[in-house]
Amino acid sequence: MIKIIMVPVGLLQANCYIVHDDTRNDAVLIDPGDDEESIRVELLKARLSPKAILLTHGHFDHCNAAKAFAADGAKIYMHNADEIMTRTRLNMSELTGGPFNSFTPDVLLNGGETIEECGMSFKVIHTPGHTAGSVCYITEDKLFTGDTLFYLGVGRTDLPTGNYRELEHSVRDILFKLKGDFAVFPGHGELTALSFEKEHNMLAEI
Ligand SMILES: [Zn+2]
Ligand SMILES: [Zn+2]
């Protein structure tokens, strides 16, 4: 069975998710953000070692610990359109003034791939709008939405490569059109359900 540990990290409290098959001792990290230590504590408590890092986008609050876990051998996946953020100011680390840990992704995604890691499969959906390279990941009935979709909200589009029209399209025409219901694990704030957001989100169809 897939288990998920949520770890809110850093000044912006981005949600890092430790995702694992409970019959194994390896784990996937979704968005290891700006607090390596808290993530390590949770990994130790659960006796898990990270094997893969799936980034929803390139903002520092979602990826500033990627370099540290990559040094342990975890493979980094991210969309190619956000790769530029791994080595430029576009990752917005200046928002909190902290240093940014540049890193090199191992796999650049385009969307549509299925990633097999730690006995689980993750489908990659390209959902641009918050950033050009924002993606969501689906495993079973769980949807990781990064800063694309939140509980009763959506991500901001005023940062570099953000685009409100694209975000609207990604949420309404891609996420809200997915068949079936999903538990939504957003990049900030509380968990929600796709069926709930389809009805109550600011981008819900009226
Ligand atoms: Zn962001
Ligand atoms: Zn964020």
Q: Which two tokens stand for residue 86?
A: 């791994």
Residues 24-79 pLDDT 10s: 999 999 999 999 999 999 999 999 999 999 999 999 999 999 999 999 999 999 99
Predicted pLDDT at 35: 97
Residue 206 lies in a domain: no
CA of 147 to the centre of ligand 1 (A): 5
* pLDDT surpasses 90 at 183: yes
Tell me the residue range of the domain where 102 lies. 2-200
- Order of strands, edge to edge, in the sheet holding 2-9? 2-9, 14-21, 26-30, 49-54, 75-79, 107-109
Residue 132 lies in a domain: yes
Residues 163-175 pLDDT 10s: 999 999 999 999 9
Q: How many domains does the chain have?
A: 1
Query: What average pLDDT does this structure show over 143-162?
Result: 98
Ligand in nearest proximity to the CA of 157? 1
* pLDDT surpasses 80 at 186: yes
Phi, psi of 37 (to 5 degrees): -60, -50
pTM score = 0.98
Residue 157 lies in a domain: yes
Predicted pLDDT at 205: 82
CA of 155 to the centre of ligand 2 (A): 8
Residue 120 lies in a domain: yes
